[in-house]
Amino acid sequence: MSGLGKTLDRTLEDGVRAELTPGVVGVVAGRDGVRYAGAFGQRGVDDPAAMTVDTVFRLFSMTKAIGSLAALKLAEAGSLDLDAPVGDIVPEFDALMVLDGFDGDAPRLRAPASRATVRQLATHTSGAVYEFWNADVARYLRAGGRPSVLAGTKAALHGYPLAFDPGARWGYGIGIDWLGQVVEAVSGQRIDAFCAEQIFAPLGMSDTAFECEGPLSARLAGAQAVTPEGWRTIPLAPPPHPQVYGMGHCLYGTAPDYIRFLRMILNGGALDGARVLRPETLRLMTENQIGARDVTPMRTVMPPISADVDLFPGVTLKHSIGFVLNTADIPGKRRAGSMGWAGVLNTHFWVDPASDVAAVLMMQHLPFVEPGALRLYDAFERAACAG
């Protein structure tokens, strides 16, 4: 085993021994192939089966980059104008109002100052934000008995307000769920069929799916939460066979499959002879698409779901179509111009073209970015970058 392999093995094994997570999978790769793949611990706090490299995870927001790629496939083909108003393609979006707070218990709603564009959906600048980091949106949904977008229904998706005028700033949220609806409207296909045909098959992502059924279900990791009383299993998963596949959260997959997607990014839009995007289109995924706006810290209003999200304090962050971008080197870690993001159950990834590194770290627990998960992610990234 290489020195890198030994270091990463030790890092992940130490994390499990320290009870930072019940189980973990890590994969590190470059343009030419996988350099490391390891698994430690067990599949769940109540599942003693050994964690394996081919364990299936709920990807949650790691789905977003796949949904973004789907839209770019249509843009590259000339079928989708990224600067077209969303409502021209999905008319229901034009019914969304901006929530300007509350008068007593009554929400204060108004029409948006401008119509959101497809590009704004894809870069989290449309105003469509999650309730987990926005107290007013959380209150609005709760007061109206409206379900979370995770319910997988059109009513849930359509029930959210906008938190600000389109283009006013960056705000993390459900724009990619709406983007999936745009892809369906333009392509004439359900998003699951589109992704299977246009993305998963060309990239050889045979363990990535919209439903966790059959052989995949036998390898599914357990979901759990770390609480003051210790670890406990939780029933958290995208709903099976939903009315709407939310491209913000709906996928299941493995670390080796996701690393193939990331290696495609490193290789300029192609992998193993299969071209998925032209290099000039891929730049929309690798370069800033939000101008002077910045990706800002996300302050939690639901601590059991997520801690505050501020991964690189003091570093200016931007957003492409698909990823968060760091504009400066992170000492000992990724270089400037790297791309990354994560899923709420602490699945994490980054792509560093300058260093020819792509990596995935898969756990399966809440809260998102809680201290133990960040401690292990930090150690894993430092070990991967040192190697």
The tokens for 332 are 């000992």
98: helix, strand or coil: strand
Residue 288, phi-psi category: left (phi > 0), alpha (psi -120 to 50), beta (remainder): beta
Q: Are 365 and 46 contacting, i.e. CB atoms less than 8 angstroms apart?
A: no
State the Cα–Cα distance between residues 231 and 224, nearest whole angstrom: 7
Angstrom distance (rounded) from CA 19 to CA 16: 5
What span, in angstroms and rounded, lies between the C-alpha atoms of 69 and 250?
Answer: 15
Catalytic residues, which ones?
A: 61, 64, 172
Alpha helix ranges (H) inside the chain? 3-17, 63-76, 86-89, 118-122, 135-143, 154-158, 175-187, 191-195, 201-203, 215-218, 255-266, 279-286, 371-386
Determine the Cα–Cα distance for residues 121 and 173; give it in Å rounded to an integer: 9
- β-strand pairing of 357-362 with 23-30: antiparallel
314: CB partners within 8 A, 6+ apart: none
* Residue 218 tokens, joined: 């036998």
Assign 3-state DSSP to the chain and report helix, strand, coil percentages, each to 5: 35, 20, 45
Task: Please report how many Cα atoms fall inside a 13 Å half-sphere around the Cα of residue 220, on the Cβ side.
Answer: 20
Distance CA 338, CA 322 (A): 12
